[in-house]
Structure 1
Amino acid sequence: MSTDGSTTMTSTRTTPRTAPHRGGLRRGLAALALLGAGATALTACGSDDDTAATDTTTPAGSTSAAAPSDAATSEAPVESSPSPTETSSQAEATTSTVPVYWVGTTPLGDRLYREFEQVTGDAAAGAVQALLTGEPLDPDYRSPFTAGSGVASVTDDGGTITVTLSDDALAARPDGTSKADAELAVQAVVHTVQGALQERLPVVVTDPSGGTSLLGVETGNGVSNRDQTTVQSLVNLTTPEEGATVTGGTLTLDGVASSFEATVPWTITDSEGKQVLEGYATAEGWMDKLYPFTTDVDVSDLKAGTYTVLVASSGGEGVAAPMTDTRTFTIG
């Protein structure tokens, strides 16, 4: 970091990508029957200043030694990324675990899904770079950017976060990209950089020429984060990480959700799609934002093999199906 508070991007993602592809599991598992027909609609009551619900466990596979803290108020940090730790005795670069907000499909259209990624170098610049040019671990997620760009720097002056790109390749909205898709992509950048910096501040995206358009969306006046319940999936797993190997007979499920009466149903299916376990977790709240949930599942009776866990939110009135999130894991 320079003396003026700017940060220069020198990030490299280090998370392995060995997970099998699950295709469209999110759209079709029988677990949705758990939710029942009596669920009522969720009400979006938050504001742009709402603090994102945080996960209080270090994401699986993280190399960070410090567990994150919970953010309980709108003044608190918006994410809970572990502190950077040095990974090489020779290099000055450090590895950080940062939240990256990808896009996934839900019954209400595309929404943001959070996944923790590992980046080397500046955490904020690395998180945005991962979103612009990387790939998520979960094959059900995708980047909202079809063309990439480099991140020159990220600065935070206490009132505005400025993301400076290395070129203007992302200034215009590409053919075939709707205005809604472009706005969601901008929100992905906003949520990602806010989470990495632990600051809920307006975000400006600029390029070397001074332009402040991102996919045709003007950001010059600062773009605030939209209400969680309108832009993010209403359920999002943090643990297990995609492709995780479970040992010891216990599968820990944790993440965030806004689900009817704080109930988060889950099911586990085997590689043939047969349901082998079911249950539910209880979140810390519901309706106005996403709240943490966690539960331990006894999988000691399951045979060695590959399984998929699905968590769901209440669909609510007028919604064809609940929002869901899935992870593939292996029992050795």
Structure 2
Amino acid sequence: MDYLKLAQEIIDGTREITPDEALYILESTDDWWAIYAGAVALKNGISANEVRLNTLLNAKSGLCAEDCGYCAQSKYSEAEVETYGLIPNDEIIKKALIAKKNHASTFCIAMSGTRATMRELKVMGAALRTIKEDLNLELCVSMGLLDSEQIDYLKSVGVDRVNHNLNTPRDNYDNITTTHSYQDRIDTLDRLNEDDVNICSGFICGMGETDEQLVEMAFDLKEKNPYSVPMNFLLPIDGTKLEGRHELTPLRCLKVVTMIRYLFPRTEIRISAGREYHLAEMQNLGMLLVDSIFLGNYLTEKGDPVEKDIEAIHKHGLKIYEAVTVK
């Protein structure tokens, strides 16, 4: 297959890849670098050399009742993590100011737990309004299950999108968590669509999923029309159910990023947690395919220093997207 031609057809909107083609990308060998080159051409043809920076704040940490095997914040985890309730608004605003200074255009706020309370959302609302009005940052929140009243409130204070990841394929879900189901997450994405809020939804690679399962999940996700797709790579944290699991290679991770690029040509795709560890020497190749990266630390794990990521972006001739503040 001529992958440069395929990329152009996708750019022109006359072609989409099929599940069989997506699976072939993951399993490719002899023509792998031609496939990668097509993905670079695809990225360049739609958003050129621009990359967005996201930063993530863990605004409420630990003591979560869910039993997700990858998460250090689960009450079933024996990992050593800091636990605290919702942090004060001035601290949230301070973190947003740092994000703005580091050229981030999206500020992401996560809270541990199955769902946030309406009281917590209203306490945080003043900070969200300030960040939106004074810093002109896009706001994405990850707060578990949300009802329509909560979604409407978040929209009213300036939230641009809600993160709710599928995490792992349907047929692998019971191996990772039992306190909620894959269908629960699909239903939540449907609710977000019904309430007309942009979706940020992705997954975690390296938790025992097969290539076929990963493709099936990716196509499930495509049906939900997400605004952004974060790709995470399992960090097997000591004390969690999945500690010691190491099944990823840099090439495997790069093939996953490539497949997602072909499948989501006009969606903001992002390499997120675990990129530094698992993509390793191929991380820069991955950066050429995506629209955004997380800058700095994740929920409970450290990322690369901000300065290192900024330097890498400039070395590769990439341009950081920065929103113009309108006062």
TM-score under structure 1 length normalisation: 0.28
User: Going by fraction, where is helix more abundant, 1 or 2?
Assistant: 2
| Structure with greater contact order relative to length (CA < 8 Å, sep ≥ 6) | 2
User: Going by fraction, where is strand more abundant, 1 or 2?
Assistant: 1
